[in-house]
């Protein structure tokens, strides 16, 4: 088996203000400066809306100019924008699984709105942890798997039968369990 030479980590950290959602509680500039001091971090920047076209362009440019091989974005919920950032990272030529997202909106600013100093410290801890995780990320690929489009509706009452009919009209195979 061939051994692969491990590439030295070159991590970029990008902190989002999320408009005022994060920036009204967390001192984003302090978190950005802190992230820049972490081992393997070669660039740390902030932007009002990292998910915007301008923010994504900032990430793509940094990947190319700084030869980044890992990216951390500290912003809102991964459910909302993880796909956006993975796509931006991929478009810049980086494996999309060399991306880590830190949720500092829901996990910090929304729950610690009345203690900005502690919120900023917590955001720093979360960013440190995300950078640590990014150091360990390994390239993986994707796999397409065929999926049978079918639905199981449990209950043959009025609602169950109507749900089964509605889904069947969409061309999906329906199993009705009474």
Query: Domain check: are 129 and 172 in the same one?
Result: no
Q: Is residue 34 part of a domain?
A: yes
Query: Domain check: are 19 and 76 in the same one?
Result: yes
| Predicted TM-score of the model (pTM) | 0.79
Q: Is residue 2 part of a domain?
A: no
Q: What is the pLDDT of residues 104-137, one digit of tens each?
A: 999 999 999 999 999 999 999 999 999 999 999 9
Query: Domain check: are 90 and 174 in the same one?
Result: no
Query: Domain check: are 64 and 114 in the same one?
Result: yes
Query: Domain check: are 115 and 167 in the same one?
Result: no
Query: Domain check: are 71 and 110 in the same one?
Result: yes
- pLDDT class of 96 with cuts at 50, 70, 90: very high
Query: Domain check: are 130 and 150 in the same one?
Result: no
Burial of 148 (0-12, 13-18, 19+ CB in 10 A): exposed
Question: Could you list the residue range(s) of the whole structural domain that residue 96 is in?
Answer: 11-136
Q: What is the pLDDT of residues 21-63, one digit of tens each?
A: 999 999 999 999 999 999 999 999 999 999 999 999 999 999 9
Q: Is residue 124 part of a domain?
A: yes
Q: Is residue 1 part of a domain?
A: no
Are the C-beta atoms of 15 and 44 separated by less than 8 Å?
yes
Q: Is residue 46 part of a domain?
A: yes
- Three-state SS for 19? coil
Query: Domain check: are 18 and 95 in the same one?
Result: yes
Are the C-beta atoms of 109 and 102 separated by less than 8 Å?
no
Predicted local confidence at residue 4, as pLDDT = 53
Q: Is residue 17 part of a domain?
A: yes
Query: Domain check: are 123 and 164 in the same one?
Result: no
How would you write 43-58 as a 3-class SS string? EEEEECCCCCHHHHHH
Query: Domain check: are 170 and 96 in the same one?
Result: no
Q: Is residue 6 part of a domain?
A: no
Q: Is residue 5 part of a domain?
A: no
**Residue 6: both structure tokens together:** 């491990």
Structural domains of the chain, count: 2
């Amino acid at each position: 088996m061939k051994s692969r030479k491990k590439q030295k980590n070159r991590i970029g950290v990008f902190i989002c203000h999320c408009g005022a959602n994060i920036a009204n509680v967390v001192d984003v500039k302090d978190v950005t400066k802190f992230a820049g001091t972490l081992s393997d971090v070669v660039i740390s920047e902030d932007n009002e809306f990292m998910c915007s076209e301008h923010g994504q362009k900032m990430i793509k440019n940094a990947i190319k100019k700084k030869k980044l091989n890992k990216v951390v974005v500290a912003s809102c919920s991964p459910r909302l924008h993880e796909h956006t950032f993975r796509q931006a990272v991929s478009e810049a030529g980086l494996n999309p699984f060399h991306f880590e997202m830190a949720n500092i909106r829901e996990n910090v600013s929304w729950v610690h709105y009345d203690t900005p100093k502690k919120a900023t410290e917590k955001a720093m801890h979360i960013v440190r942890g995300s950078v640590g995780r990014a150091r360990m990320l390994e390239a993986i690929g994707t796999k397409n798997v065929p999926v049978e489009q079918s639905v199981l509706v449990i209950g043959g009452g009025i609602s169950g039968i109507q749900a089964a009919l509605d889904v069947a009209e969409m061309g999906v195979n329906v199993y009705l369990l009474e």
